[in-house]
Structure 1
Amino acid sequence: MVGSGIGAERGILIRSGEAIQTFKDVKVMVLDKTGTITRGEPKLTDAVTAEGVEETRLLTLAASVENASEHPIARAIVEGAKERDVKPGEVSEFRSTGARGVSGKVGDETVLIGNRRLLEEEGVSGLEALDDAMAELEGKGRTVVIVAADGQALGLVAVADTLKEESIEAIRGMHDLGLHVVMITGDNERAARAVADEVGIDEVQAGVLPEGKVDAIRALQKKHGNHVAMVGDGINDAPALTQANVGIAIGAGADVAIEAADVTLVRGELTAVVDAMHLSRATYGKIVQNLIWASAYNVAAIPIAAIGLLHPMIGVIAMTASSLSVIGNSLLLKRRFTRENPQGKST
């Protein structure tokens, strides 16, 4: 109760005592990228056109189709196009293929927007001419989509998401706790690796579709034992949060993710994961200490009482002292975890 109360005061909501006990044994911390490591507010950064294609046409077609989508990347493209005085047109027959891309008709043209794998499957031509530009943009950590019309690649549109200020500090803190940190993302390998290298991620699993996150968690559990925690914020993260031994939801994320999680970070800061880990370990330590104290009283007093050398009133006093020592020892957690010392470090 004391541990949960301390967590609540610091914006760390722990659903059960079981979560506290499981959390202390976590060895692998899995992080979603968008909205967890990054702010989840991507901005349009680049528009690269194929030979003979005007940038205005590229952005008009891209913004027109993406305007029918609610995905953060879609919103970034639409808003970025508007900032460049490009207005989206009307779109019909809009279709989404999940994390791979979208399509629709703008006027008489059939527009397809997505990753290279999707466009290759659809038989789009002219992709090779954009390879160098795509590699360069992805190497900078940007998410790149290809825009095609009537089976011909027109160019690239790139968006970038900024890191949360505390991400590097939080991941450093996880390493100090001995955790193996894994990032799972639907982004391509190059863009994901650029972000991972910047913040110090140990392992990257890129190109993972939403439905593949559960399988990724299962694989990590099989490899590292049942000691895997995951931090996520989106609707697509909910099944993986449930599969993880400890699911941790960012408080500003989707309601379904929060409902599926064992721990909710109200502050929305990744450093709170480190604070929660310290709190979990310290709380479990107090549980062990309390068991030792309570057992010591009974181990010492029961044999003495059995041979008739312990007065009943002394037994009452000893039992009361046992309870008070447990309560007092638990309350010492509050002295250890102050707002100035959220990780309970010894002073």
Structure 2
Amino acid sequence: MEMERAMRQGMTPMFVAVGPAVVGLLAVADTIKPHAREAVQALKALGLDVVMLTGDNARSAAAVAKEVGIERVLSDVLPDLKAREVTLLQESGRRVAMVGDGINDAPALAQADVGIAIGAGTDVAMDTADMTLIGEDLRGIVTAIALSRATMANVKQNLFAAFIYNILLIPAAALGSLNPILAAGAMALSSVSVVSNALRLRRFTPPVAASR
């Protein structure tokens, strides 16, 4: 009875025995990180599918997933099979970002398109990952993804601006219909516009603010 209750609450029950007799029951559970639910909801708002990949038993994993708002759970996954689960997602056409903090997560972090380690995690995880969050606030994942999207959009805008100047003005200069002084000014204006557009990233505001 107590064991069932513990498992429904996301805990892992362990029996205590003295000789052949069972004398007690311990229930242990990982503490859900603060702001985990907020981070999950923000990731969904960015259009991302959030999947829990864990070695915990199905009941414990389902209880935690329900509390933080994750619908898809892959439980009872052995450490050496986590990377395989990431590979299966990639083979289905997904680009996968893996978030982990333990030694067991290292192979999956390496296999993922982007590996994200928690700053308070193990050295192995941080060495394997592509990036490491400062601290344990999971909202930092949201900030990282949103900032990367804003940066890529900015890069594309800058490339467009640089190309449009050249496409429009190089033919005019080659045909002699553009004064050299004006051509030099246009080139300077191109550089200024690209730099000014890039500086807009300094005003980037994350969807959810992570604590520092």
| TM more than 0.5 | yes
SS of match in other structure, 1:162 = coil
Q: For residues 94 and 67 of structure 2, what CA distance do their matches in structure 1 show?
A: 28
1:315 deviates by 1.9
Which of these residues, 129, 151, 154, is aligned with residue 261 of structure 1? Answer: 129
Q: 1:231 aligns with which of 83, 89, 99?
A: 99
Partner of 1:186: 55
| In structure 1, distance between residues paired with 2:133 and 2:127 | 12
Within the candidate set 285, 302, 325, 2:170 is matched to 302
RMSD: 2.0
Report the 3-state secondary structure (helix = DSSP H, G, I; strand = E; otherwise coil) of the residue aligned with 1:180: coil
Secondary structure of the residue aligned to 1:287 is helix
Q: Does 1:342 align with 2:206?
A: yes
Q: Separation in 2 of the partners of 1:204 and 1:241?
A: 18
Distance (Å, rounded) in 1 between the aligned partners of 2:17 and 2:66: 31
The number of residues matched between the two structures is: 208
More helix by share: 2
- Report the counterpart of residue 139 of structure 2 in structure 1: 271
Greater percentage in strand: 1
**2:66 maps to 1:197:** yes
Which whole-Å deviations, capped at 9, do the CAs of 1:98-143 have from their partners, x for residues lacking one?
xxxxxxxxxxxxxxxxxxxxxxxxxxxxxxxxxx443221001111
Question: What TM-score do the two structures reach when normalised by structure 2?
Answer: 0.91
Secondary structure at the counterpart of residue 196 of structure 1 = helix
Q: Secondary structure at the match of 2:167?
A: helix
Aligned-pair identity in percent equals 52
What runs of 5+ residues in structure 2 fail to find an aligned partner? none
- CA displacement 1:18-43 (0-9 Å, x = unmatched): xxxxxxxxxxxxxxxxxxxxxxxxxx
Indicate the residue corresponding to 1:281 in structure 2: 149
Q: CA deviation at 1:149?
A: 6.8
Q: SS of the counterpart of 2:178?
A: coil
Report matched runs for 1:1-347 at 5 Å.
132-147=1-16, 152=20, 154=22, 156-223=25-92, 225-335=93-203, 337=204, 341-343=205-207
**Preserved CA contact (<8 Å) 1:180 1:202:** no
Which is higher, the Rg of structure 1 or of structure 2? Answer: 1
The superposition leaves residues 185-233 of structure 1 with CA deviations (integer Å, 9 ceiling, x where unpaired) of 111111110110011012111111111111111112122x141111101
| Separation in structure 1 between the aligned mates of residue 185 and residue 54 of structure 2, nearest angstrom | 59
